[in-house]
Structure 1
Amino acid sequence: MKGKTLKYIVLLATITVAGVLALQFFFLRNSYDNSEKQFRESTTIALKEVAWQLLAANGAVANFDSIAPVELITNSYYVVTTDALIDFELLKFHLMEELKKHQIYTDFEFAVNNPVTGHLEQKTLITARGEEQPSNYTFPEGKNPDTFYFAVHFPDRSPYFHSRLSVWYLFTGLLVVVILFFGYTLSVIIRQRQLSQIQKNFINNLTHELKTPISSIALSAKVISDEQILKTPKRLFEYARIIQDQNARMSKNVEKVLNLASLEKSKVFLNLEKIELEHFFEEVTKSFRHTNAGKKATVQLNLPHQKIFLVADKFHFTNLVLNILENSVKYCEKKPIIHVDTHQLKNKLLIHFTDNGIGISKKYRKKIFTRFYRVPTGNVHNVKGFGLGLDYVRKIAKAHKWKIKVDDNPEGGSIFTLIISKKI
């Protein structure tokens, strides 16, 4: 699948998912509004019937047509006018019966206005289970405190809405689960495509790295198989040296691949020991200067005079440092100069490797520690390698519970920082 095709598929899928979610939430919102409207209508009808029952008990049903019994103050607060004496127990009975009849199973509070005092009294809370408790709600006073009316407040209408919207909640939950599975599947496809591309690049690099020494060895072997070469011993020794160097180069590449495979198959076991940092870096840089990369570079150690100790696996720590130094030389188009310095911050030790190379673009910095990944250079293979060195650095740092990051060097190049949280 081509890159553009995958981008279009991802874009179309994102638009589709966003549209489905928007449509689902639109229907959910619309259902909520309808439930709100239904609650108001059902409550109004139930309270009108309560008012009718109270008037019937007083023999004053003729007054019903001359009043507007139910007044909606807020979505949860109602005032019901009766213009007739209200019996508290009778009111409580009819409220419970009428609300239940209209399937309003939720807590409600009510109070009866006393026309003499002009205050709402006998404040009571009836739970959805029918339990009676004193109410602490502050009922707003009505507009006509000298008339007979009662007030009803619903403190929590969520049980009513949940019962009406439970099916929509179920559908929405299922939709979210499906979208999560879809997103996970899509992310797996994208990761697999990226891995396929990385592996393709790795095979291309591996082919190039092995083909060159093989060709050099074959050519040298052909030359020294000629008897005439015995007449020029220096030329014979030169071709023998080429075979030896190219064989060492090929062996080193194969060893890198095998080391990576062993790290992938098993957990890294560390042989921890106490290391004095200054002495350690002197040994490592001395060893690095004898390598082909080290012969081209200048490594400057800027370490503090006081001794700094840390606990690490000396073998893996040495390889970690050598990989960073070698990487700095590889990606430098001029005389490589690498500065190594430390910075102590509370319980952390920061080791900085500052080079003057070509630098790393910000969009590639998180990817360079990925196995087989190499910063794209088109079809140019002027930098040798498989993209294994920094992956090894990341694995060893993680095994030590350290962190490794890369930043831009303002003067040109990169700054690799090893963050060591455990030191003694």
Structure 2
Amino acid sequence: VLELVDGESLSGLLNALREQGERLPVEVATSIACGLCRGLHAAHEARGPDGAPLGIVHRDVSPHNVLVGADGVARVADFGVALANVRLSQTRAGQVKGKPAYMAPEQLSKDEVTRASDIYASGVVLWELLAGRRAYEVANEGALYARVIAGAIPNLGEVAPWVPPPLVDAVHRALRREPIERYGSALEMAAAIEAAVVAAPAAMVGAVVERVAARTLHARRDVAARLDRGAAVPMAAIPMPPPSGPGAAQPATFVPQPPQSVRPPPVVPSDRGERGTHTITSPGPLPGGQRKTAPLVAIAIALLVAVGIGVGATWLALRGGVAASAANASSASPAPSVEVERTSTPVDTSAPSAAIAASPIESDPTAAPQATTETPRFPRPSSKSTSSAGSTSTPRPCDPPWFIDKDGIRRVKRECF
């Protein structure tokens, strides 16, 4: 849970002062700078549950991340890019985080970043508070990088002659190029500032905030009061901070739209969005990309149908040819005839009008009369015509193609193979 600060960011105060043609009084500027230094010192000295130092470095100290309340207290905010011992694995080597205009030379050179880098950034912030303008007035970022790395920051005494020399010296010590030449801690820097000039009390700072940011504070307080009452607040009613410079991005303004229908509109996937995103649109014609792809889909379907018909016709033709070949083969070769052998053994006329089945063994005259059985035989196909029913066919030498020798062993007839 974040604290709701009834105030304005330091960048917002500076922009409002520039529009009004004013600058912060030296006493107010030093009071805000001392509050900034004490807040950073508390973060630098933070320890974990085990008592070990966390090694926190803000790395993005700038007027945008300093909130000055109507109570006259300056607060350090936005530790989103802060470096700590517990987050070292999440920071890639050689990766620069922060705003170049407030970075220390070692930070911009991708060297080791320590609390001395935050002290340097605090010195740049105080320089701008006292001078009433930007520390580096350059045409592009390349020139900015070159001046920061070289440590070529303008002399505060020459730019702002109204600043007392002891305070100028205190500011420029924080802006030394070598980290070891700066203050040992942010608390030491705050003490040096207070020794150079008497800082304004919190009441005086709060009065300046109320006067300079009166319109913004009034709008935000009205929104907070409506939220406390449970009333709906449109996004357009919430004041947005103005851009801090000519290159800053313009804040987006959200205008609430009235609901068009009780039923939610259909969700149509966007053909130009990122993967996993969708665009909610009202019912209407299909997107241009879908109209272009519809003929291609139809052509692909037609090709698939044509290929399927061709394959089916080919398969049917092949199947018909095979069937015709089989029919011709069956008509050319005679079907195997079924020969029925009847018994030639005389039967008893006194028995019923049924004959006794013929067999190699003579029938017993005392046996009971039995019905005559006809045993069908399916001989091997032959080019010779078979004899009619009742006649005895001549056995072929290879039917069967084996014989039984004297030892009772079945032997194959070699002439049959």
**TM-score range normalised by the length of the shorter chain:** under 0.3
The structure with the largest alpha-carbon Rg is 2
Q: TM-score, normalised by structure 2?
A: 0.19
Q: TM-score, normalised by structure 1?
A: 0.19
Which structure carries more helix by proportion?
1
Higher relative contact order (CA 8 A, sep 6+): 2
Which structure carries more strand by proportion?
1
